[in-house]
Chains A and B, each alone.
Chain A
């Protein structure tokens, strides 16, 4: 380097810029944390007195409780179905040639660019046309389609990094295809499968726009319950719930980073 001073300056300026942007990213979360511990129902900064009461209120609120339960039902089914369907298809995509290969792939990736309100509206109309009641089945079907692209991508990336010679070795030693699959391929793919399932579960649990269209009062998920709450009430219960959300999500991501390597899963660093 010819001019070390210039690059130090550029580095310092860069650090300030990046720091400011990260502060912008963190700001709403930090503000909500302060608001959640504010003892009074009306927001003020800094709060005059502190309290845990909004956490108790949020945890006791019926719509949040049913929303949470419904969310677990929908997420459990949707992410598991998406994992099974997506992992199998990613494997087929990676290795086999079959008719309509690119068409099916294109259709399954389309929910990434089609607005969620259109997808929600579509499943709502489809359910009505088929005469189906607005039960969990519609919500689950809609969520499966929404999270499939993420499962596909996640499994596909780990398939690319898998050494196929291990499978060939197992096969040459006499293992039938089913045995190769269960004893070699699936264990080697485990990190990709876990991260795919995890992403699918988090995204499904938090999916709002499409859920708003396809859920009914009885099947309302947590984000829909939260949206209705924000529209009707202004007290900090929602702030308290948001704090629980932020903390839980951050913990899950930190653990995912430790065990799965978030950078590799998101493909933002080269896996060597």
Chain B
């Protein structure tokens, strides 16, 4: 086989980008092992004190909260994303299909700030839900929805839904609807046909969707920052606060490293937990 044309020109820019990214991640790792000198942006010598400080209950709490919020968000997103993905793939009218796709996908491209702001307008004390409920006389004083874990999870589910739907729809679109019809013609009701045929066949999409939703939620910053308002803190908020309020970049870096290890650990755990499901899926 002759040497492929342009190979070097095609690969080297990408290799350079990969190198830049690895260097940035190495910089975080390196900083996480350096001492913090108060009042200085220059880090000190090598040390493990940053990681020792992570063991304080205050930080343990934030890590636990983060994992819990990510987990609840991933599960809720799966539960409400599945029907939408199913409807999207099985819709017969092309117009309905496009309309659903655009409604679902548009929020993905709005960015976190616009979407979070919209939820502030919905959830605030003078916001949509409270004003409407007060006017209807259902409640007497505004419900506290902002600065609660409930508010944060609600907004995060909204933020993560498009990705979940795309991943599930990608898996569902590769399942032949004839399988379901075959089950029904053999006497299974529509629900039984769905549960015994389509659902197991879509497990790869479920696994991909849940793990991606988990990773995306872990990465969220504006939503817990603005809707949590300091009452609900995730790792991202702590990293930002340490970096830009205390200028303790070495500790911010070690929190990021610990966060990354935690996120990957949880994702690996999720995959293992979902593994038995996958074996009933396609072979």
Name A residues whose Cβ lies closer than 8 Å to a Cβ of B. 1-3, 6-7, 10-11, 14-15, 17-18, 21-22, 24-29, 31-32, 34-35, 42-45, 84-86, 88-89, 91-92, 95-96, 98, 100, 103-104, 107-108, 110-119, 121-126, 128-129, 141-142, 144-145, 148, 177-178, 181, 202-203, 205-209, 212-213, 223, 226-227, 230-231, 238-239, 241-242, 245-246, 249-250, 252-254, 257, 262-263, 266-270
Contact A177 B27 (CB under 8 A): no
Stretch of B53-61, B196-204, B252-260, B270-278 on the interface side: B252-260
Contact A10 B166 (CB under 8 A): no
Which of B13, B166, B185 is most buried by chain A, counting CB atoms within 10 A of its CB? B13
CA gap between A45 and B240 in the complex, in Å? 35
Which of B24, B87, B103, B116 is most buried by chain A, counting CB atoms within 10 A of its CB? B24
**Could you pull out 29 A-B pairs where Cβ atoms are within 8 angstroms?**
A1-B181, A1-B185, A7-B184, A18-B100, A25-B104, A85-B14, A89-B10, A108-B17, A108-B18, A112-B212, A117-B240, A119-B25, A124-B243, A128-B41, A129-B27, A141-B20, A142-B24, A223-B112, A230-B116, A230-B117, A230-B226, A231-B226, A238-B117, A246-B106, A249-B110, A257-B98, A266-B169, A267-B170, A268-B169
Q: How far is the CB of A2 from chain B (nearest CB, A)?
A: 6
Known pairs A126-B23, A208-B221, A250-B102; A35 contacts B110 (CB<8 A): no
Contact A122 B24 (CB under 8 A): yes
Contact B7 A207 (CB under 8 A): no
Taking CB atoms, residues of chain B closer than 8 Å to A10 are 189-191
If over half of B's interface residues share one DSSP class (helix, strand or loop), that class is named, otherwise mixed; here it is helix
For B135, give the chain A residue with the smallest CB separation: A45
Contact B256 A118 (CB under 8 A): yes
- Residue from B11, B21, B119 within 8 A of A107 (CB atoms): B21
For A226, give the chain B residue with the smallest CB separation: B113
Contact A145 B17 (CB under 8 A): yes
Judged by a CB distance under 8 angstroms, whether B131 is at the interface is yes
Taking CB atoms, residues of chain A closer than 8 Å to B222 are 208-209, 227
Known pairs A88-B14, A91-B10, A129-B27; A25 contacts B107 (CB<8 A): yes
Judged by a CB distance under 8 angstroms, whether B124 is at the interface is yes
- Residue from A96, A125, A246 within 8 A of B7 (CB atoms): A96
Contact A206 B11 (CB under 8 A): no
Contact B114 A246 (CB under 8 A): yes
Q: How far is the CB of A100 from chain B (nearest CB, A)?
A: 7
Contact A110 B219 (CB under 8 A): no
CA gap between A250 and B31 in the complex, in Å? 42
For A177, give the chain B residue with the smallest CB separation: B5
- Residue from B107, B126, B219 within 8 A of A43 (CB atoms): B126
Taking CB atoms, residues of chain B closer than 8 Å to A257 are 98, 101-102
Contact B170 A249 (CB under 8 A): no
CA gap between A100 and B239 in the complex, in Å? 33
- Residue from B23, B124, B243, B267 within 8 A of A113 (CB atoms): B267
- Residue from A95, A117, A226 within 8 A of B219 (CB atoms): A117
Taking CB atoms, residues of chain B closer than 8 Å to A21 are 80, 83-84
Using C-beta atoms within 8 Å of the partner chain, give the interface range for chain B: 35 or more
How many A-B residue contacts, CB cutoff 8 Å? 287
Taking CB atoms, residues of chain B closer than 8 Å to A245 are 110-111, 114
CA gap between A203 and B116 in the complex, in Å? 16
Given contacts A88-B9, A115-B235, 14 further A-B contacts (CB under 8 A): A18-B83, A21-B84, A45-B131, A115-B259, A115-B260, A121-B253, A125-B249, A206-B114, A208-B112, A208-B221, A223-B112, A227-B226, A230-B117, A267-B170
Taking CB atoms, residues of chain A closer than 8 Å to B87 are 14-15, 18
For B112, give the chain A residue with the smallest CB separation: A208
CA gap between A47 and B220 in the complex, in Å? 32
Known pairs A125-B249, A126-B24; A17 contacts B83 (CB<8 A): yes
Judged by a CB distance under 8 angstroms, whether B89 is at the interface is yes
Judged by a CB distance under 8 angstroms, whether B62 is at the interface is no
CA gap between A253 and B102 in the complex, in Å? 7
B:229-283 near A, CB below 8 Å: 235-236, 239-240, 243, 249, 252-253, 256, 259-260, 263-264, 267
B:195-220 near A, CB below 8 Å: 212, 215, 218-220
Contact A209 B121 (CB under 8 A): no
